[in-house]
Amino acid sequence: MLARRSKRAILTFAGLFLLVAVLLAVTGRYFQNVEQKRRLDEEKANWRQREDFFFTVERRTVERERRFPAAVDPWLVANVPAEVAGRVSEVKVEPGSLVRLGDPLVLLDNEIAASEYRRAAAKLGELQRLLAEAEILGKSKVISRTQVESVRAETRQADAEEDATRARLEDHTISAPFGGSVAERLVQVGEAVNLNQPVVRLVDTSRLRVIFYVNERDVASFPAGAAVRLRLPVAPGQVYEVPVVHVARASDEATRLFRVEGELANADLALRGGLTGEATAMVALYTDQLFIPTACVRLEGAGASVLRMRGGEGGPESVRIRVGEEVEGFYPVLEGLATGDRLLVR
């Protein structure tokens, strides 16, 4: 009998303990929900009070620009070679000398070449005199037509020899192939030079070649004649408009980038070749496009999402969107939003 009473007491106590535990759990959940609702109400109140937490989606017209490291090189560069072998008798220029097309740069000893030319010229003169006499005698039938043609053939051959010796003589004067300035003198007086050995390094900086490289996505933005803006550290505050003159038809094998060249006028020679700078160009134009700040966007792998405010007293909802490439702190919205949507700035 006592054991049965003990069992009842134990079951009664266990039931009371379970009831108390359930009541405590329900009460705790209630107060937790109350606290969450209080915090949400405070956040909503803060959202309503702080308009700078929100951004209203609007349409804008925006240019997307990109900057590229640029090299500024002389328009023409040539290691001017000797066209005959010989010994240097005179160097007409020094580094920095300005020259025009055809100006002499280096003279080679031409004594032998001059002697050969004089002999060839004398021979040609004698044959020209004989040809004139032969033509007179031929008309008078004193000599045959064949004899006249033989003298004429010898005269033509002598004329060709005279031209060849004159050219060899002229080759002893190494002249500028274009106007420019001497970057480097490569020989000294008395030095023997070989055929095709460079004697002077010549550059033309009256125009400058602006070179930079772009990727395959941007290369279509550089048709011939398109303008880029160039800034140079040596000319702070100065912006040069440079037209594009050439775009490579194939990318560099190592970098997979396309070479773009522009032409910068430099008639006053104010700029030197070999400079570095930065080229800026418009690579995209967004017209009447939705834009939102990057601070509103959470990137998620290949996609993105924003927190859009519901109407009325509703809180934010997560919305999946598709955006384009960032432009100065803003993303163009391609899908998922409409004009007037209000977004929470994270």
Sequence-distant (≥ 6) Cβ neighbours of residue 239 within 8 angstroms = 229, 230, 231
**How would CATH label the architecture of 67-73+203-284?**
Beta Barrel (2.40)
* pLDDT confidence of residue 30: 64
List the helix and strand counts (H, then E) for the chain. Answer: 3, 18
With vertex at residue 96, the alpha carbon angle to CA 265 and CA 72, rounded to the nearest 5 degrees, is 35
* Confidence label for 19 from pLDDT (cuts 50, 70 and 90): low
336 has pLDDT over 50 = yes
* pLDDT confidence of residue 49: 45
Two tokens at 226?
Answer: 């398109």
| Residue of 328 and 135 predicted with greater confidence | 135
115/301 Cα distance (integer angstroms) = 83
Q: Across residues 99-109, what is the average pLDDT?
A: 96
What sign does the CA torsion over 85, 86, 92, 93 have? Answer: positive
345 has pLDDT over 60 = yes
Q: Across residues 79-91, what is the average pLDDT?
A: 96
* pLDDT confidence of residue 287: 84
Give the count of beta carbons closer than 10 Å to the beta carbon of residue 344. Answer: 17
The secondary structure of 277-338 as a DSSP string is EEEEEEEEEEEEEEEEEGGG-EEETTEEEEEEEPSTT--EEEEEEEE---BTTEEEEEES--
Q: Across residues 176-190, what is the average pLDDT?
A: 96
25 has pLDDT over 60 = yes
Under a CB-based contact definition with an 8 Å cutoff, are residues 174 and 108 in contact? yes
Give the count of beta carbons closer than 10 Å to the beta carbon of residue 250. Answer: 7
Question: Residue 91: which H helix or E strand, with range?
Answer: strand 86-91
Residues of the chain with CATH 1.10.287.470: 110-170
302 has pLDDT over 80 = no
Q: Angle between the 111-139 and 145-171 helix axes, to the nearest 10 degrees?
A: 160
Two tokens at 169?
Answer: 């003589």
C-alpha dist (Å) from residue 152 to 107, 120, 161, 165, 315: 36, 16, 14, 20, 108
* pLDDT confidence of residue 193: 96
Residues of the chain with CATH 2.40.420.20: 51-62+286-344
| Residue of 31 and 258 predicted with greater confidence | 258
With a pLDDT cut of 90, the percent of the chain lying above it is 55
Q: Does the reported pTM lie above 0.85?
A: no
Q: Across residues 45-57, what is the average pLDDT?
A: 64
Residue corresponding to tokens 């070179």: 211
208 has pLDDT over 90 = yes
The chain-wide mean pLDDT, for the chain, equals 87
* pLDDT confidence of residue 244: 95
Widest Cα–Cα separation across the chain: 175
270/279 Cα distance (integer angstroms) = 19
255/252 Cα distance (integer angstroms) = 6
Residues of the chain with CATH 2.40.30.170: 67-73+203-284
Q: Across residues 166-193, what is the average pLDDT?
A: 96
Q: What class has domain 110-170?
A: mainly alpha
**How would CATH label the architecture of 51-62+286-344?**
Beta Barrel (2.40)
With a pLDDT cut of 70, the percent of the chain lying above it is 84
Q: Across residues 168-196, what is the average pLDDT?
A: 96
Give the count of beta carbons closer than 10 Å to the beta carbon of residue 170. Answer: 14
| Residue of 246 and 317 predicted with greater confidence | 246
